[in-house]
Amino acid sequence: MRRALRSITAVALTGLLVAGLFVTVSAINPGTAHARCVNGQQVTSDYWLGGVRRAYERPQDGTCDGDSYYGAFLFDGIEDGNCAMVQFEDGGNPWAEAQRTCRPAHQAEPYGWHDVNNSSRAYMRLCVYGGYGTFCGFGREPVDARGLNAGF
Protein backbone atom coordinates (compact mmCIF):
# COMPACT_ATOMS: atom_id res chain seq x y z
CA MET A 1 0.00 0.00 0.00
CA ARG A 2 2.79 2.37 0.89
CA ARG A 3 4.62 1.63 -2.38
CA ALA A 4 1.45 2.34 -4.41
CA LEU A 5 0.98 5.65 -2.57
CA ARG A 6 4.57 6.65 -3.35
CA SER A 7 4.08 5.79 -7.04
CA ILE A 8 0.87 7.83 -7.24
CA THR A 9 2.55 10.75 -5.48
CA ALA A 10 5.55 10.58 -7.83
CA VAL A 11 3.31 10.54 -10.92
CA ALA A 12 1.25 13.48 -9.60
CA LEU A 13 4.37 15.54 -8.84
CA THR A 14 5.82 14.77 -12.26
CA GLY A 15 2.57 15.94 -13.87
CA LEU A 16 2.64 19.19 -11.90
CA LEU A 17 6.27 19.82 -12.82
CA VAL A 18 5.58 19.24 -16.53
CA ALA A 19 2.53 21.55 -16.41
CA GLY A 20 4.57 24.22 -14.63
CA LEU A 21 7.37 23.94 -17.16
CA PHE A 22 4.87 24.30 -20.03
CA VAL A 23 3.37 27.45 -18.50
CA THR A 24 6.83 28.92 -17.92
CA VAL A 25 8.01 28.19 -21.48
CA SER A 26 4.75 29.59 -22.92
CA ALA A 27 5.14 32.81 -20.95
CA ILE A 28 8.78 33.22 -21.96
CA ASN A 29 8.25 32.29 -25.62
CA PRO A 30 4.68 33.09 -26.69
CA GLY A 31 3.47 32.27 -30.20
CA THR A 32 4.55 34.55 -33.00
CA ALA A 33 2.38 37.65 -33.22
CA HIS A 34 1.38 38.44 -36.76
CA ALA A 35 -0.06 41.77 -37.79
CA ARG A 36 -0.02 43.98 -40.85
CA CYS A 37 0.36 47.45 -39.42
CA VAL A 38 1.99 47.71 -36.03
CA ASN A 39 2.91 51.17 -34.75
CA GLY A 40 3.06 52.44 -38.32
CA GLN A 41 5.32 49.58 -39.46
CA GLN A 42 4.43 47.14 -42.22
CA VAL A 43 4.67 43.46 -41.31
CA THR A 44 4.20 40.45 -43.61
CA SER A 45 1.51 37.98 -42.46
CA ASP A 46 1.12 34.32 -43.27
CA TYR A 47 -0.99 31.22 -42.64
CA TRP A 48 0.53 27.79 -42.14
CA LEU A 49 -1.47 24.58 -42.38
CA GLY A 50 0.02 21.09 -42.16
CA GLY A 51 3.51 22.52 -41.70
CA VAL A 52 3.34 24.40 -45.04
CA ARG A 53 2.98 28.14 -45.61
CA ARG A 54 -0.27 28.07 -47.60
CA ALA A 55 -1.03 31.80 -47.91
CA TYR A 56 0.70 35.06 -47.12
CA GLU A 57 0.31 38.76 -47.70
CA ARG A 58 2.58 41.78 -47.78
CA PRO A 59 1.41 45.37 -47.20
CA GLN A 60 1.86 47.89 -49.98
CA ASP A 61 4.43 50.60 -49.28
CA GLY A 62 2.94 53.50 -47.32
CA THR A 63 -0.29 51.73 -46.35
CA CYS A 64 0.26 52.09 -42.59
CA ASP A 65 -0.57 55.79 -42.64
CA GLY A 66 -3.79 55.98 -40.59
CA ASP A 67 -6.16 56.82 -43.49
CA SER A 68 -8.39 53.72 -42.92
CA TYR A 69 -7.39 52.15 -46.27
CA TYR A 70 -5.23 49.03 -46.21
CA GLY A 71 -3.49 47.99 -49.41
CA ALA A 72 -1.56 44.75 -49.73
CA PHE A 73 -0.56 41.87 -51.99
CA LEU A 74 -1.98 38.37 -51.47
CA PHE A 75 0.04 35.29 -52.37
CA ASP A 76 -0.80 31.61 -52.72
CA GLY A 77 2.09 29.92 -50.93
CA ILE A 78 2.17 26.60 -52.78
CA GLU A 79 0.95 25.14 -56.07
CA ASP A 80 -1.25 22.32 -54.82
CA GLY A 81 -4.57 22.96 -56.56
CA ASN A 82 -5.88 25.08 -53.67
CA CYS A 83 -6.22 28.87 -53.64
CA ALA A 84 -5.60 31.64 -51.09
CA MET A 85 -8.05 34.17 -49.68
CA VAL A 86 -7.89 37.09 -47.21
CA GLN A 87 -10.84 38.10 -45.02
CA PHE A 88 -11.52 40.99 -42.64
CA GLU A 89 -13.80 41.29 -39.62
CA ASP A 90 -14.42 44.97 -39.19
CA GLY A 91 -16.71 47.14 -37.07
CA GLY A 92 -18.63 44.18 -35.62
CA ASN A 93 -19.54 42.92 -39.11
CA PRO A 94 -19.05 39.23 -40.01
CA TRP A 95 -15.97 38.04 -41.89
CA ALA A 96 -15.89 39.49 -45.41
CA GLU A 97 -13.68 38.45 -48.29
CA ALA A 98 -11.26 41.13 -49.45
CA GLN A 99 -9.50 39.12 -52.17
CA ARG A 100 -8.78 35.63 -53.41
CA THR A 101 -6.12 34.29 -55.73
CA CYS A 102 -5.43 31.10 -57.60
CA ARG A 103 -2.35 32.50 -59.32
CA PRO A 104 0.73 30.31 -59.47
CA ALA A 105 2.62 30.20 -56.19
CA HIS A 106 4.32 33.41 -55.07
CA GLN A 107 2.73 35.67 -57.73
CA ALA A 108 1.17 38.78 -56.19
CA GLU A 109 -2.55 39.59 -56.27
CA PRO A 110 -3.08 43.22 -55.17
CA TYR A 111 -6.08 44.12 -52.99
CA GLY A 112 -7.43 46.86 -50.79
CA TRP A 113 -9.68 47.11 -47.72
CA HIS A 114 -11.62 50.21 -46.62
CA ASP A 115 -12.24 50.34 -42.87
CA VAL A 116 -16.02 50.45 -42.34
CA ASN A 117 -15.92 52.67 -39.23
CA ASN A 118 -12.73 54.69 -39.90
CA SER A 119 -10.95 53.36 -36.82
CA SER A 120 -7.96 52.02 -38.82
CA ARG A 121 -8.46 48.71 -36.94
CA ALA A 122 -9.79 45.40 -38.24
CA TYR A 123 -9.19 41.72 -37.62
CA MET A 124 -7.75 39.74 -40.49
CA ARG A 125 -7.25 36.09 -41.36
CA LEU A 126 -5.88 34.19 -44.31
CA CYS A 127 -7.61 31.18 -45.83
CA VAL A 128 -6.87 28.31 -48.15
CA TYR A 129 -9.72 26.79 -50.13
CA GLY A 130 -10.14 24.10 -52.73
CA GLY A 131 -11.08 20.47 -53.07
CA TYR A 132 -10.85 19.74 -49.33
CA GLY A 133 -12.93 22.71 -48.15
CA THR A 134 -11.96 26.08 -46.68
CA PHE A 135 -9.56 26.53 -43.76
CA CYS A 136 -8.84 29.93 -42.24
CA GLY A 137 -6.35 31.02 -39.61
CA PHE A 138 -3.37 33.19 -38.91
CA GLY A 139 0.34 32.46 -38.60
CA ARG A 140 1.06 29.05 -37.14
CA GLU A 141 -1.91 29.32 -34.79
CA PRO A 142 -4.79 26.85 -34.91
CA VAL A 143 -7.62 27.11 -37.38
CA ASP A 144 -9.84 30.19 -36.89
CA ALA A 145 -7.04 32.31 -35.38
CA ARG A 146 -6.98 35.96 -36.41
CA GLY A 147 -4.61 38.90 -36.27
CA LEU A 148 -5.25 42.56 -35.49
CA ASN A 149 -4.40 45.05 -38.19
CA ALA A 150 -4.14 48.53 -36.65
CA GLY A 151 -2.92 51.87 -37.94
CA PHE A 152 -3.69 51.41 -41.64
For the segment 1-18, the average pLDDT, to the nearest whole number, is 40
Confidence class for position 131, pLDDT limits 50, 70, 90: confident
DSSP 23-72: HHHHHHSPPPP--SEETTEE--EEEEETTEEEEEEEEPTT--SSSSEEEE
Class of domain 37-150: mainly beta
Residue-wise pLDDT for 15-57, tens only, equals 333 333 333 333 333 333 344 898 778 999 999 999 999 999 9
Residue-wise pLDDT for 57-103, tens only, equals 999 999 999 999 999 999 999 999 999 999 999 989 999 999 999 99
Q: What is the structure's pLDDT at 143?
A: 79
**Strand, coil or helix: 90:** coil
Confidence class for position 127, pLDDT limits 50, 70, 90: very high
Q: What is the structure's pLDDT at 79?
A: 92
